[in-house]
Amino acid sequence: MAVKDALLALLADGAQYGYQLKSAFDDATGAAWPINVGQVYTTLQRHERDGLVEADGEPDEDGRRPYKLTAAGREALAEWIDTPIEQPIASRDEVSMKVLIAVATGVAPAMEVVSHQRVAAMETLQSFTALKRDAHAEPLAWQLHLDRLVLAVESEIRWLDLVEQRLATVDTESTASDAKPNAQKNSHGQRSAR
């Protein structure tokens, strides 16, 4: 739900046919997100199907098939540009999901899952930082992308720290009253079979 719109923008910006759109995309994003050319063509077809884009008939003498935006396409592009992207409250994050599942079930000690993930995230952070250090000659887009990655991983680490704290407090609280922190909540299933 994004490459789609990027292609509209690149079309509006002067690119015309599939292969060209692919390299325009690489240039614009500093090749941050490798994209398969095939995807460009399928996306273009879908856009054509949806009336956002049109190619007049057959490929030209050079074997190229130039597309252009339709009015609807320009409208869709304008809407993408104007409408900020919102973080949905139900936003799916794999790390959160894994941690929450670990906390809720008995399949593994939640604390271990968290600390494993934390170690991995720290390593990732270091590798990204190293890349940033040597990226002064790289295109701006690539540098910005690296900045985004660093900030994202940092926020993941912060969250993992926070989870560790919360888990620690929950544990110490419950050892004073309840003895089974990680056991099944018994809130699902086991409802009077028959």
Subset of 76-135 contacting DNA (CB under 7 A): 92
Smallest gap from residue 63 Cβ to a copy of itself (A): 11
Helix, strand or coil, per DSSP, at residue 90: coil
Among a copy of itself, DNA, none, what binds residue 132 when CB lies within 5 to 8 Å by partner kind?
A: none
**Which of residues 54 and 141 has its CB atom nearest to a copy of itself in the complex?**
141
DSSP letters spanning 83-149: SPPP--TT---HHHHHHHHHHHSSSS-HHHHHHHHHHHHHHHHHHHHHHHHT-TTS-HHHHHHHHHH
Smallest gap from residue 103 Cβ to a copy of itself (A): 7
Smallest gap from residue 158 Cβ to DNA (A): 24
Among DNA, a copy of itself, none, what binds residue 46 when CB lies within 5 to 8 Å by partner kind?
A: DNA
What is d(CA 50, CA 47) in angstroms, rounded to the nearest whole number? 5
Asked if residues 138 and 31 have their Cβ atoms less than 8 Å apart, the reply is: no
Structure tokens at 188: 């699902």
Residue ranges binding DNA (CB under 7 A) = 1-4, 17-20, 23, 33, 35-39, 41-46, 59, 62-66, 92, 189, 191-192, 194
